[in-house]
Chain A
């Protein structure tokens, strides 16, 4: 018998809900294939950062990886649309986009870049957390140095809201916050919890400015080497893991918010409309873009 093992690497630690979602997928695939097609998961960035893992997929030494849609921007520009602030009205709206036609189009539109999207995983909403200054309106961001990912759209977004975007590598962020090199950062609740930044940052303002999902992708070289049946199992296992991951995610958000509150973090629920109005100009600029403009209008047309 020929037993195939696919290697999956990602940057999250094994307690993360997205990791658990992928474990479920691996388990389903093993069941469907009767153990003939299995996945080995390498967590914690053992095989490289997200950007590097995508490159390894293209090179052909790694089969599958999970990356943030923000990282996909450098490989397939269309993914930029998912990083735009307040592009999704609600969680349901985002799910309808990921599960629907647009989601499928984005996932399969990467084949010319030698990668193929399998599914979207929920990575929640990103919000601002600061050391001691609560963000209740966009004006509160004025003059604050906010750490952002190395991504142009993330920098544009923080700038549009009035903050000073400061790219700092993730590994250096904890000490940068502790010593006050930056005044705050932005991320989803589970990341605030697992990064321990809540030990330093005591104000978390759930303005929910972006909803950048995670994407599970497979090397086209590996995909084409699978039989039709194996491809079907693979896709089904990925699809089945999506609702499971969403459940894990929701639980993790609740748990994370509870724990950081117990550690003395104050949670704020600012009026999101104030923030959304501030970035309207930025969105309008992107609507004039040939590729992105059309996508934005189509996303807006999707129902909640």
Chain B
């Protein structure tokens, strides 16, 4: 409805059309502007590809790091379950006493299995593995203690639970030293935390850069269309109407950049796969790197589109307002 002239029809809302038609007109006009923006990108392929590539590669780096962190977490999750507690018994403990200990520990619900390694056997194994051979025979007495290897049940295999169990085991009078072999695992976790922080940090910096790049590209688009914007303002276009094609341009940049990032990540993983396989083989581990899951891929695309939209939104808010007919 016209502001100045009561009863004067203004725009489609006042021309008598049905509800369904006005809804469909809304989508038709959006679709037209969306395709129009895509067409603009198509007509300037070199410039568009550069912008899209910058956006895509900027998203590729944090995405790849994210996948590496995720995969490291996955591998280490396998190791965590295997945590094992070594109990070194006092040298004064007799064989009968150690058997008693084993029977007692066998009743504990936290413990899955026990392995007893007598001192003699341990020495033999050491002799065999160390390559010191006969030199060992010159020892007057066996310096090694009896050892009990305790494997906790799955529920008690996490670092904290295993540590509690270790403290309980240390209280047994036969036990001299107890050792939980997860300290290196904790260090790995610390490292992973740092890596995760790095992903966030690098990601944030690159995302800010992307927003600025898109914003600047859209700014140039706006300046190129200065005359057209002036004419549109003269014949009564609202700011929202003028903004829309530029926002769609930002949307397309985001979507296409996100797809490029996706392909780049797949390519990088494919390329790294053979060296990762070789590395995993050293540890006699069968390991397949997992790429982006469906949800992660959608998140990546959504993020990319959001960055494109934010960049163009900032730009149109600032620069379309500056163009006023004089």
The judgment on whether A and B are partners is no
